[in-house]
Chain A
Amino acid sequence: MSPKKLNLKDKYKLLTRDLDWEFSYEDRKEAFPYEEFEGIKITDWDKWEDPFRLTMESYWKYQAEKEKKLYAIYDAFAQNNGQTNVTDARYVNALKLFLTGVSPGEHAAHLGFAFTGRQMGGIGARVAAQMQSIDELRHIQTQIHAMSHYNKFFDGFDEFNHMHDRLWYLSVPKSFFEDARTAGPFEFMIAIGFSFEYVLTNLLFVPFMSGAAYNGDMATVTFGFSAQSDEARHMTLGLEIIKFLLEQHEDNLPIVQKWLDKWLWRGYRLLTLVAMMMDYMLPQKVMSWQEAWELYFEDAGGALFKDLERYGIKMPDYTDTIKQEKEHLSHQAWWIFYQYTHAAAFHTWTPSAEEMDWLSEKYPDTFDKYYRPRWELAAEMEAKGERFYTTGLPQLCQTCQIPMAFTEMSDPTQVVYRESIYNDERFHFCSDPCKSIFDNEPEKYVNAWLPVHQILQGNCGGGGLDKVIEYYHLEDGVANLDFEGSPDAERWKDWKGVA
């Protein structure tokens, strides 16, 4: 007779919890040196509950199955010249932004979870963080593999790693993850595990990837959804960590609330790039940024915060600002890139008449009033051969590093300027939350590597814009400037047999 099969709960207990050991001859505190310095109090790690009872054995089994499915689609995509079947070559620019801006973040998350997977004292949390660390490594690898096919046919992919460390707009995601990784293990878990994974990644991976499918890009939708299937596990880890910290000790509440306030805003600002990708960069639109925000943040996030109320957690008080900004965000962001596309590794364009009608329909209170006239003027200037570029360098927010272009919601024609003085030096911010994040930890944010400051100090290739572009490894007239007239556009016309 074969022995009785273990049930899920027992199997999980034996293959996870039982992997831990007692510290008999070493001081436990020395083994986990970061566990106390953030002020978090843990009384009993055994109270940690893993909702997904995944053992390493099952983890490898299911991950292997996901990979097989994923790579079969990559192969089919490449063998069938899938790149010629996307709706419009403009679409590929969203992928360039994804590879240069998002994928290196997966790698940063891999490193971050490796750190927390070592430093948290509880075995359940350590195992989950280690699985997530491996997942994140899988994500950057599958993303690079998917994009390597596009790299054969389009400009702007080849130097993604070099660019991530240098380009002005890529310092936004880079500094976001560096901020999280230089925090302690618990802040990292609230920053990336909870705020980013649980509350915000749906916005990146679900509607945008559904949009990729809608635009004929099977490779991207597949890595997106394959990554997101890991994400469901990550979200659960994020929710578990916040509940665990709040249940362990009441003194943890104010610390956790402060981290939440900080990281939901940091994450939201980062998603500005996604807002713009959804509203402006997908030729076939699935849903607007505003609709996605309402479904995945206001609805799903609202239910979550209602559940966390029992612990004394409150929705951050800037949520009203976000609610108002959802009607402006993507338009203001695309305008930033339109003005500075000469220094960007992807192409821009003015929205077509049809696209503007879609934007008017989706943003009835703001698009026609504030943004349509601007795009019409830009298109008119373009037609006259007077394409508008901003040649100066923008002021950057000291916290989120985005150019200061967001406006007051009480007057959407007025740019927000906030400032703080620290050690007799003046620092600038795009918003009240970015200012208060700085004011809480000024000694951290004064060290920010702000691309514009670095350019002006001569640290980015020296002299003029031509030198900076060279330092970025951008070949002028190839991966930058407008889509119209680019080598990408010419190749696309050639494939499609259009004159």
Chain B
Amino acid sequence: MSKAARRSARERLREEQRRQAERQRRRRRLLLIVAPIAVIVLVVGAGVAVQALRNRGSEFEGRTPPATLLDNGSIKLAAQGATASTPVIDVYEDFQCPACKEFERINGGRLKELAAERKAVVVYHPVAIIDERSIRSGSAARCAADAGKFIEYHDILYGNQPPEAGGQGFTAEDLKRYGAQAGLKGEKFAQCVESVRYRQEVLQRTQQISTRYQQQTGQGFSTPTVYLNDQPLDSGVLFSADAFDNAVQEATKEEKK
């Protein structure tokens, strides 16, 4: 083999090696784009599926225990046999507030179930933090409580909650119509709704709990606020069926100690 031929063979070999290195480099570069994208897509996809499964609501098919109207206008749900050591759950809710509707969807059925099974005493406190729409609906729910239909009315209101942004919210007409659905067809209920009879009661209650909550937590009051044995629950607990169940169970254990 001539010198020239040897050199060109060597050059060819080098050229081939260079190409190989270039191919390898491209492959790795591609890997560094494809691998992270694959990681992101897989993690996010799996995450969405898992969260959708975890975010199911609670329903209670059984019989809701009797509701009692308390002196301060709040409504207590307690089965017979509930004792002083049964955990007490206080629910401060605004029928116009989307987060309250969400709490109701997730744990509303559970609350009734807990009350029915004597595992908790549940007290509903209608408050108004948004505006006139909240006052109207809160007062109307109180009118329904006068006629012993609070729970039914409460469920219908959340089932028909108008959007928070824009719109008139619950009108007097809506509120009377929902009353009729709950069996409140009399003139008395209609007048109570139209005159917003419990405006002051709802506003006063809102004022009281705002002050109390602010003093207790140092944070602004918002709805839903739920107290378990006089301790406010974190929103992380409120909007998770499992966490809420655990919190109630813990409270039950503590009471029994």
Specify whether A and B are partners.
no
Please report A residues at the B interface, Cβ cutoff 8 Å: none
Please report B residues at the A interface, Cβ cutoff 8 Å: none
